Amino acid sequence: MEHISSNKSFSGWHKQYRHHSRALNCDMRFAIYLPPQANEKSVPVLYWLSGLTCTDENFMQKAGAQRVAASLGIAIVCPDTSPRGEAVADAKDGAYDLGLGAGFYVNATQLPWSSHYRMYDYVVSELPELIEQHFPVSDKRAIAGHSMGGHGALTIALKNPQRYTSASAFAPICHPIACPWGQKAFTAYLGDDRELWKQYDTVELLKQSTAELPLKVDQGENDSFLAEQLLPESLVMAAQKAGIVLDYQSHAGYDHSYYFIATFIESHLQFHAQYLAK
């Protein structure tokens, strides 16, 4: 790994690294916040997945999570949202919702995307292996995210409940097979087989899930993407029908921005801390 930068924060350290990814066939960057407790023992990890157009920097710079993570003794790992590099395919029209910055945390099966866009494998397997090999962390993991990253966090956790103690999301894309963002990305990355799409759809996964995995979702009521893209009502209904406990909170006045995330990130970290400590 190549060390890029370090910044001390709340007696811990925020660090950035670059490494070559086998899963993505390109160089990738990630950020890690190590709380002060990591100086003396291995600490649990929260993996944070960011949304469309983001990199590893957005959450670390805007969410204000380091203070709470330091008090709770939790490391935070933030990967990029897609593969990067000159050889990596991108949307031909420069669209923000496909290609670079828009990996959707799936394993693409269609060319040209399948050569690099395997974010599911990267997040589930390769990155945790790297983190646990090189940093003072344990194998206790939680996962969370925002928007596209909220979709990623929930689907990854539901598909791998043995790997995570808990999962949470801010304004997730709940039902991607039923919204324009998801339909565009899944058609490009996965092809026309909608049965294949279902394995990356939280609502569809909840219909089949028997995992007793703690789930938490917060949604702003003034979110401009709420009605067309996010579809949280379908998530709540699917959880109810499946008999799965979902802590869903709707907040008047809040939008899709990091102002919303910064307001409620402490409650999410505390939510995960109670399960990471078990």
Q: Which residues are catalytic?
A: 147, 223, 256
Q: What is the dihedral of CA 217, 155, 214, 257, to 10 degrees?
A: -20
Tell me whether residue 41 is exposed, middle or buried, using C-beta atoms within 10 angstroms of its C-beta: 0 to 12, 13 to 18, 19 or more.
exposed
**Backbone dihedral angles phi then psi of residue 173, each to the nearest 5 degrees:** -75, 95
DSSP letter assigned to residue 178: G
How far is it, in rounded angstroms, from Cα 226 to Cα 221? 7
Instruction: For the beta carbon of residue 167, count every other beta carbon within 10 angstroms.
Output: 29
Cα(131)–Cα(115) distance, integer angstroms: 24
61-72: string of b/e by CB count within 10 Å (b at 16+)?
eebebbebbbbb
* CA geometry: angle 233, 238, 239, nearest 5 deg: 100
Cα–Cα dist 184/244, whole Å: 29
Do the bridges between strand 12-21 and strand 2-9 make them parallel or antiparallel, or are there none, so unpaired?
antiparallel
Structure tokens at 134: 């090189």
Under DSSP, is residue 238 helix (H, G, I), strand (E, B) or coil? helix
Ramachandran bin of 138, using left for φ above 0, alpha for ψ from -120 to 50, beta for the remaining angles: beta
